[in-house]
Structure 1
């Protein structure tokens, strides 16, 4: 669904549906999804390698992963393309079933939302220009202009890391990472902070332009998807986790990781206590 169509849906039928749901006690979101035959997901299509457009087609890990989830649940999967800043408010307003944009699992977020099992390592690292010899290690961004996506854990970790450096870097916040990558390529930024799978995919796609700065500077973290904390969402999250465990056992999960991240990533197979 296009961003314009998504916004029309949210302003018309989506808002009406949210109002109807607000006045109705709901006990089982999984049953509702199966009855409708559709699992509705919100994501930001500017987040390679998870969700992005190439050749006018939605591609990425999330698309392939949720195709498998849809088969397991016996439903069709519909993606809504929204800016990241609109996903969490839309979830809480019941405009869709799940946020399919990958989110870093934190203690604070676990208090407010219900997470699926992790799907990727989200440790934060810097992306730099491939020909920039000034930056060999993360600490070399001291005194330089760096950026990340607004409203994300990666931005928060980057700010915390920047506070340990002298001189402090100049922080720039972006609505989506594509804008940050453009400024990095044009020399307006010295580095962009992002989850390791994201920036590794960008560096792989544009290996003559970008390079990952190793080692990562962030704390060990993981990407997962999230739903509402209310009890009616528990059934849907449990069904997704069960399907994910089956994918891990038969190798489909590792195949998807290698296809989109370039490597298999160890992630917790059960609930865990986040480092952040």
Structure 2
């Protein structure tokens, strides 16, 4: 029985969660639920595995602790895969590249380098990779980092003048600037990292199911359709959204298994 067949046999709904303030990846809809790239991604994973997937919304800082506590089967909110996280969680292959970008007020001076923010206040979403990165540079850059429970509040602090810039993912930054004429994009920091779904280390079978589902989405074009729906353009050749990686997991990260996997797409 293949991975999808095993998933169908188990039958129980899979539980996952997003940060519902992280547009365009997850944000409120008019019906009182959440919509966005990662919500569609979760539902397509469910279709590939022939399993119902329920998507909760909560602050990002609480998602990984809830996963560890067994509340969720996996976390579909964008989780940046870095060495520290890969040592503590299992990840299927990445579905999007992620770079860090600054969002500033439209009339603010252009930020050409991080040193331009010496003595300034920047905001981040609490518990995110941007939070960790920015705090790690506090002494070197000389900025003050303020963490907010939601990405919406972190951006609002820039609009209100309480901070000079918000540090977030490039897709989220582009969406914020597109939706708000008072904002613009500024300095881009290339990371070489990807976003993936987080799984507890004692659930290798869950990682295997997600790996197959994500690979199938790349192969049949369903991931590209979701990408174009929310970002307005197709995945670029060679990007994580368009590339099926060998083995299981994120190459060059702890937990990666280079062994060849059987084809699981029907």
Alignment TM class, shorter chain as reference: 0.7 to 0.9
* Alignment CA distance shift 1:90-1:248 (3 Å): same
Q: Deviations over 1:13-54 (max 9, x none)?
A: xxxxxxxxxxxxxxx9x9578534311112221111111103
Q: Deviations over 1:199-230 (max 9, x none)?
A: 11111222x1111113x125322111111101
Partner of 1:82: 58
User: Given the alignment of the two structures, is residue 190 of structure 1 paired with residue 164 of structure 2, yes or no?
Assistant: yes
Find the partner of 2:200 among 208, 228, 234.
Answer: 228
Say whether the 8 Å CA contact 2:124–2:151 is kept in structure 1. yes
Say whether the 8 Å CA contact 2:90–2:200 is kept in structure 1. yes
Find the partner of 1:92 among 68, 73, 91.
Answer: 68
Which has a greater percent of helix?
Answer: 1
Residue 97 of structure 1: CA displacement?
0.7
**Which 5+ residue runs of structure 2 have no aligned equivalent?**
255-266
d(CA) in 2 for partners of 1:84, 1:244? 22
Partner of 1:212: 185
* Alignment CA distance shift 1:114-1:221 (3 Å): same
d(CA) in 2 for partners of 1:186, 1:202? 15
Say whether the 8 Å CA contact 1:119–1:223 is kept in structure 2. yes
* Alignment CA distance shift 1:161-1:219 (3 Å): farther
SS of equivalent residue, structure 2 residue 192: coil
Number of equivalences: 241
Residue 189 of structure 1: CA displacement?
0.8
TM-score between the two structures when normalised by the length of structure 2: 0.82
* Alignment CA distance shift 1:126-1:33 (3 Å): farther
d(CA) in 1 for partners of 2:38, 2:61? 19
SS of equivalent residue, structure 1 residue 40: strand
* Alignment CA distance shift 1:51-1:115 (3 Å): same
Q: CA RMSD in A?
A: 2.3
Equivalent runs, 1:171-182 vs 2, <5 Å:
171-182=145-156
Residue 196 of structure 1: CA displacement?
0.9
Say whether the 8 Å CA contact 2:18–2:38 is kept in structure 1. no
- The runs of 4+ residues in structure 1 deviating greater than 6 Å are none
Residue 108 of structure 1: CA displacement?
1.4
Say whether the 8 Å CA contact 1:134–1:140 is kept in structure 2. no
d(CA) in 2 for partners of 1:139, 1:33? 53
Partner of 2:34: 58
Partner of 1:260: 230
Say whether the 8 Å CA contact 1:138–1:213 is kept in structure 2. no
Larger deviation: 264-273 or 245-254? 264-273
SS of equivalent residue, structure 1 residue 235: helix
Partner of 2:263: none
d(CA) in 1 for partners of 2:134, 2:8? 38
Partner of 1:269: 244
SS of equivalent residue, structure 1 residue 269: coil
Say whether the 8 Å CA contact 2:26–2:37 is kept in structure 1. yes
Residue 261 of structure 1: CA displacement?
2.8
SS of equivalent residue, structure 1 residue 255: helix
Partner of 1:9: none
d(CA) in 1 for partners of 2:63, 2:9? 22
Say whether the 8 Å CA contact 1:113–1:228 is kept in structure 2. yes
Equivalent runs, 1:101-140 vs 2, <5 Å:
101-133=77-109, 135-140=111-116
